[in-house]
Structure formats: C-alpha cells, structure tokens
Structure 1
C-alpha cells in the first residue's frame, strides 16, 4: 500500500488549513479509503494523549481530531514534532510524543536537521500503511527567511510528492494578492505542486468574484477550485482554542462561562462542547471588567496553562485574582483544570526549576510540587459525592486525559489546623468546604455526554456529527472531480 498524498498549505496562519484538512480526511474516509492525517511540526499548547511506540505520548489536538475524522486511531506519527510555547522565546519540544530536553535546549535553526529523519520516517510509515495521507502545512510556505530550515511545508511536500491546495482567508481582505504573492515566492518546482486555490470564509454572492479567479489562473496556471462560505457554527474546536465571541452563543443565553484567557493557556479545545450547548455563552476574560457582570449562577474557569507561575503572575497583574476570589465568595462557581487547579491552591513549589515558585490564590488548601517526570495518560474515573453548584457531577464516570508536571496534595498544616477539603475524585479532583470551588487534573470533562447531561440537561453535537457536517459542506462547495483528481494524479517532480 502506497498512499497518495494531499497537502493543505495556507497563505497565513488562520487561513483554514486545519479545518480543510479535517474535512478532507472525512471525505476520503467516506469513500472507503484508509486515511491518515499528518503535520510534521505543530506549535500549540492544545495537546491530546495518544498511542506511541513507548506507550502514550502527546500530539497537537488538531491532528487528534483529524485522525478521528479519518476514522483512524490517533498516534504520535501523525504529528511527530510538537512545540509547546512556555514563553515568547522558549518552547518545550515533544518528539514522537515524548518531551526532549535536549531538543528544547537546542537553538531553533539547529534543530531542523536533528529532527528531520524522525519526521520523514513517520511520514514514510503512514504512506506505506494507508491509501491517502492528508498533510497540513504550517503558517505559510512562502516565509523566505525560513525556507533553508523548513521541515513542515515545502520539504514535506517534496518528500511526499504531494498534490497541494493553497487556502486563504478571504474575509481578511487581500485574498488574491495573498494567493499570488505566496505562489510567486515559491521556487518554480514547488509552484508546480500547487494544483488548486481555495477561497475560505467568503460572504455573499460568489459570482461577484469574477473575473479575479480567471485572472489569477492566467498569471499562475492554477485554478480556484473551491469557494467556501463563512460558517461559524461548524462545531470543530479551533486549533488554538480561543474563538470569536460572535460564534460563542447558541440561542438565548442562560449561563455564561467565563474562561480566563491568560497568555500561556492550554487545551482550550476541550471547551468546544460548551460552545455547542444551547443557552451557554463562552466569554474569554482578560481583565476584571469581563467578570463584573457575572451572576452567581455563572462560572469562572481557570483552564490549563503551559507555564502556571507566569500565568498566575499575569492574572495578579490584571487584578483578576481579586475578581475570581470575589466571585467565589459571592457564591459563584469556580473551576480550575490542570494548571488552573494548581493556581487555586496555596502554593507552587518548584525545586527543579521547571515552572517556578509562587503563592496560589488560596481558594483550596492544596500544595503543588513540580517534578521532573511528566504525567501523560488517559484516564477513566468517577466522581464521589460533590457539593454545591457541582453536585450534579456526583457518581458520574468520565473518560479524559492528564498532561501535567505538577503533583498536588492537601496542605498538611492547614488541614491539621482545621481547614476543610473534599477529595471528590481520588488523586484528581478536590472541592472547597462550601462547594463553590472545584479543581481537577482531569482534562476532557465537557467532552463526556454524561457530564453535559448532568450539568446542563443537554447534549452538544457529537464529533461524528461534526465530521460528517464538515465533509458535507466541503462536498457541497467543491466539484467532485476536483476531490477525485487530487488522489488520482500524482506529481513525482
């Protein structure tokens, strides 16, 4: 078996590469083909736990969802290199699912040749095992300052002999210049790999685009093969988690969930189901004013963080620490997940220099110690009796995952002095005495139908429904012959 390879390139980040790759994965899977996604390098703090040669490892969430869309078992070869930003100039490097401190300490330009053999081998294995491999690029392939160390765009396209689509976000304006400029900056042999342009997020009458697509084809020889309308409610988690508020309210609002959007937020894709629940509005909170109008029935959520101590310092600088504490003291619900759980405690203790020492918010009598070993695991666990606004979770079993360095336990001196703490999921979740504050290491709660039903009396669309909708949308707005030719024709230039 030798797969035909399709690659989705973009004129910029946010053009629609991940969305289109996911839709293509489901389209070809619906044809009865064995399909796998691939992205050589992803930079994201949204990660999932999947299979690896050594047991379990991490890949970017986008490739995880693409694998599910392809009806394939996600594994680390689908995203062999994951960069998890910890600061503006530093990332944790995850190679084939495992953290590599050596690569994390290697300068960026010196890293490419060290990792390329592993990337190429992972891609070759997927090509050998599948009928179709749908490859996602990163950013733009025309970043001419980076071409000499490229391991994610043109180098991958050449290695895979891939047919390439180039997608642009027309809603931002300048789409035809973006397409032409990107194509023009590519080497001639790579220009030939671009078999179609895709205009994404178009509003209005597509006939008004003429004669621009024809003029662009005259200049480049590349046809515009699809015009995809703007679609806010597709239901697929955004690759970087944070989405536009225009798409975050489904029906009349009965509950607001304010998620603290600190700089190193992680795993925000797990909140997508809340975006799809009728009556729930997600609000990204960056300052106290964003929390000022909350009712006691509304929630404040502290999500995961790739660097807990620095995000906690940012939170204090914004004055959000007082706003969160005030909401809890008024009887409002506060939820902390992973890094958010660590922030809710009394202290962060870091003897190994992994994250940093810091006092916590003091809403739970817990202490977190950072260790060299990283917990990366899938988890199935059941809540014990839960109190207050979270009581509906009592006895609910959920399946999810853990990704964290810290290990958390009760503050022994405070507990001895009479502080109250309820452990409501052994080793994974704790609750305050009054019940308003809940903290957990458990990622993926809102992806569990039983949890959504218990908390909201409602269900979000399943991922299967979302994937089918993506494929339907793609097939409606793209000629079937175009999709067929992408896997019939193959360039070996």
Structure 2
C-alpha cells in the first residue's frame, strides 16, 4: 500500500473496531452525501473493507434491500449508493432509522427497514431513547466487521434545539470516536463563518472530534482563499484539509431530489434530442431514479411544477409520491391535470410510476387512513385501494409486451424495486362499457388503448442500461465509473502539501 499522501486517516488492516470517518455539514445540501460516497470508494480502492452508515435519514428517496431474517426493508438511497461505492451489499443496518415525510408535521418512521407505527405516533423528541439502542447496535456490528465505516451526519451538528435528542450527529461521533470532517458549501457564501459558528456551538468534548474543515463547491483561484484558512485554524485549532471544486454534474442524484424545478438539465456538450418533464409535486418520492436521464447525451430533464414547464416535452413522467392524494390535489390546483390531458391529446407520451400510476386512474380509495381518498385524473380506467401493509420487493423482471410508442421496452430483462401501499386494478364497469386498458402484467403494468400512456409499479427502470439504450439509443455512465471518478478526486482534494506532510 502506498504511503498516505492525504489528510485522511488510514486504518490498521484487520484491527477492530473499525476506523470511523464521519462527514458532517454546516447545513443540509453542503455535500455530505456525495463526499461520503467518494470516501467509501476511495477507502475501498486502498484495499480496505468498507461500509457506510447514517443513523437517521429524512428522505422520501429509498431503496429496497434484504432485511434480517428474510424479506425486504427500506434504507435511504444515499446509503444504498454508498454501499455500492464501498463494494458491499446494501443492508438495513447501514441506515437503521429512515423518516419519510408525509406532510409538514408528520413523517412515517422506518426502523431497521420496517415501518414502525408506534414510533410514528411518538413526538419527535421522545423517539431518541427508543431508537438509540438499535442505532448503536447496528453501528457497532458494522464496526466489528469492517476496516473503515464512513458515517454521514444529517443537517448540521450545531442545531442546538435538537442536541438533547440527537441520535445522528455528535452522539454518533462520540460513540464511534470518529475522525470528523466538517463540510461547508462555499458557493453559497459565508463558508468560513459557517465553519467557525458550527464549531463554536459544539460542546467542548465534541469540538475535539472535528479533525478537518472541508470547503466544497469552490470556483475560482484557490490562492485567493488565503489567509482565511490559516486564520480559521488559529481560532479553532482545526485545519482546512480539502478544497473541493464545484462539480456541476458529479453523476450522483441530489438526495433531496428536484433542486430547481423548471430548469432544464442534461449532459453537457450534446444537442437536445429528447425533453423529459418530471412533475415535481411536494411529496414526490424516489426522484433519484431519474439521475440517469441527467447523464445521457441528448436528453434534457425538466422538473415541472406548472403547465408552462410541460411545453415542449416529448415525455411527461408522474413519479412516485409519499402522499399520493395530497399531491394529486396539489397537481389540480396548479392546473396540471388539464395540461397532462392536453399533452396526451397532442400525441405526447405520459408515464406514471407507482404513485404517479395511481394518479392516472379513476379513484384512490383509502379505508384504513393510509393516504386519503381522492378522485383520479381519469386517464386510465383503474382504481387503487390502499392497504395498511407496504409492498416491498427487489427483483429481476421481464418487461411485458408493449404497444407503440413504448414497444422498444418489450421483453427487456430489468432490475427493479417496489415500494407501495396501493393495490391497483381495472375498474370493471368502465371496462365493460368499452373504456378499455391493456393490463400488460396483472397488478403491475398497464397501457392505454392508444398506447401513449404507460403506468407501472416498478421503480428503477431508468437505471437499467439496456432500457436507456432501447428507449433513447444512448447510455448513461455506469455507477462504477461515477464512483471511480469521484474517488480519483479525493487524492487531489485532500492532498498534503510538502509543508503539511
């Protein structure tokens, strides 16, 4: 193994418990998730056995992974991708607590992969004593099995209103005696104040765990930063150990999904051939699955929240939703229902995925208080009833026979996953009256009689290279190539100078 030329610590191979490196941020969106992903791949490339960990994630972007004792569970997408970067199988211990927002004041609580109704009903500050034993047990197990555990924090560790009930930031850092890096988004401005203020608000014992500051999303001449890094170190005793350039297209999905609704994005340097509009309703879920579209040359992706933002789209996608009935009401309030009908009438394609599929039908029926009752868009003669139990599945499937304009997908072998409470079926009276629908795969895939509207419960379709090739005639970069490109930057970003070596 080469001599360490970075500011990153190296473990002693085979020594347990594992070295823990924790990525904290001065705010949400500072870059914690993708920096942690880069570190997972970098440590793996050094020959170490690596696992990711985030004690608590708040996100509606989740993946299905094996659960202890069989079956399936959910973890946040960020930890799923970090596990792939680390070269290990994703599992529920890597994100023991997942909070899935259903409204501004309510989140579904998923503990070790499974919905926990009792915890969901508890006030926020009362959950800590119930979940910490499970969180610490999961972390300790990963520490006992690996050389390095790369831990991601949440939000900011200096949210002093939450310190007493903290189970994700400094409580985890103290438990693991982690080597902590504090990341700030310098592109927003005020990065040095953010770093100093965060450090200053921490308790004294926690400050000693902060081993390095990281400036992320820097543009310009790094020499102009001086003397601020030296002044910050004089105030805190903590050095700036990395300056990371602004990577506009690093290739990983944004953890919070659509950052700039309405803006058009696509692979740089390629003329636009296909425009895809994804309707970004307030509780849209699993928007990360559309990241490949951002990386495909010739594709422009628009996050749409108004009828005007659908203009010029070749396809429109209704994505998943954590609150389908509520998002459907929002969609109507924006006038998007009429815009979607007009898009189809004018020959455009419309694709509903999971919650988006449910919206396409005639009605949402909720007898158990899961999501809510609501009239559908009426674009397919389907009815969805919500069950208390959530359907979770990860599988390899074969796409059924589809009619034009989606026929290129027929027969493809695909890796997909399901996360849904709803069960959907054709509305018998409408079908009997001649308002047909092609049920391409019972309970899972439907297509309108004219072929333009496609609906399915399968997530992850666009993450299959063969589907992108069939549908768009092009491929996105593989995840492995994205991970390796990020890891190759770590040596440069965290490099020691001759003076600091």
The runs of 5 or more residues in structure 2 that have no matched partner are 1-15
Q: Decide which of 275, 295, 302 is 1:256's aligned counterpart.
A: 275
- Name the residue aligned to 1:119: 135
- Residue 249 of structure 1 and its aligned partner are, at CA, apart by 4.5
- Name the residue aligned to 1:269: 288
- Residue 215 of structure 1 and its aligned partner are, at CA, apart by 0.3
- Name the residue aligned to 2:300: 281
- Match status 1:29 vs 2:47: no
- Name the residue aligned to 1:143: 159
- Name the residue aligned to 2:216: 200
- Residue 384 of structure 1 and its aligned partner are, at CA, apart by 2.3
- Name the residue aligned to 1:6: 21
Comparing 241-250 with 301-310, greater Cα deviation is found at 241-250
Alignment check: 8 A CA contact 1:233 1:247 kept: no
- Name the residue aligned to 1:65: 81
Alignment check: 8 A CA contact 1:232 1:247 kept: no
- Residue 419 of structure 1 and its aligned partner are, at CA, apart by 1.6
CA distance in 1, matches of 2:181, 2:264: 28
CA distance in 2, matches of 1:190, 1:230: 29
CA distance in 2, matches of 1:5, 1:61: 21
- Match status 1:174 vs 2:190: yes
Per-residue Cα deviation, 1:207-252 (whole angstroms, up to 9, x for no partner) = 0000000000000000000000011121111111214447535421
- Name the residue aligned to 2:94: 78
Equivalent residue runs for 1:381-460 within 5 Å: 381-460=397-476
- Residue 396 of structure 1 and its aligned partner are, at CA, apart by 1.4
- Residue 398 of structure 1 and its aligned partner are, at CA, apart by 1.1
Q: Secondary structure at the match of 1:135?
A: strand
Q: Secondary structure at the match of 1:422?
A: strand
Comparing 358-367 with 36-45, greater Cα deviation is found at 358-367
Alignment check: 8 A CA contact 2:266 2:297 kept: no
- Residue 388 of structure 1 and its aligned partner are, at CA, apart by 2.3
- Aligned-residue CA RMSD (Å): 1.5
- Normalising by structure 1, report the TM-score: 0.96
Q: Secondary structure at the match of 1:143?
A: coil
Per-residue Cα deviation, 1:182-203 (whole angstroms, up to 9, x for no partner) = 0000111111111000000000
- Residue 426 of structure 1 and its aligned partner are, at CA, apart by 3.8
- Name the residue aligned to 1:491: none
Q: Secondary structure at the match of 1:77?
A: helix
CA distance in 2, matches of 1:277, 1:238: 16
CA distance in 2, matches of 1:282, 1:8: 30
Q: Secondary structure at the match of 2:127?
A: helix
Pair 481,349 (structure 1): closer, same or farther in 2 beyond 3 Å: farther
- Match status 1:46 vs 2:65: no
CA distance in 1, matches of 2:493, 2:154: 24
Alignment check: 8 A CA contact 2:265 2:302 kept: no
- Name the residue aligned to 1:336: 352
CA distance in 2, matches of 1:143, 1:246: 34
Per-residue Cα deviation, 1:282-319 (whole angstroms, up to 9, x for no partner) = 1011011111x225xx0110000001000000000000
- Name the residue aligned to 1:490: none
Per-residue Cα deviation, 1:35-81 (whole angstroms, up to 9, x for no partner) = 00000000000000012214210000000000000001000000000
CA distance in 1, matches of 2:212, 2:379: 54
CA distance in 1, matches of 2:165, 2:465: 44
Q: Secondary structure at the match of 2:122?
A: coil
Figure out how many residues of one structure are paired with residues of the other and give that number. Answer: 481
CA distance in 2, matches of 1:391, 1:330: 20
Comparing 409-418 with 132-141, greater Cα deviation is found at 409-418
- Name the residue aligned to 2:31: 16
- Residue 379 of structure 1 and its aligned partner are, at CA, apart by 2.4
Alignment check: 8 A CA contact 1:381 1:425 kept: no
CA distance in 2, matches of 1:385, 1:185: 59
- Residue 380 of structure 1 and its aligned partner are, at CA, apart by 2.1
- Normalising by structure 2, report the TM-score: 0.94
The runs of 5 or more residues in structure 1 that have no matched partner are 486-493
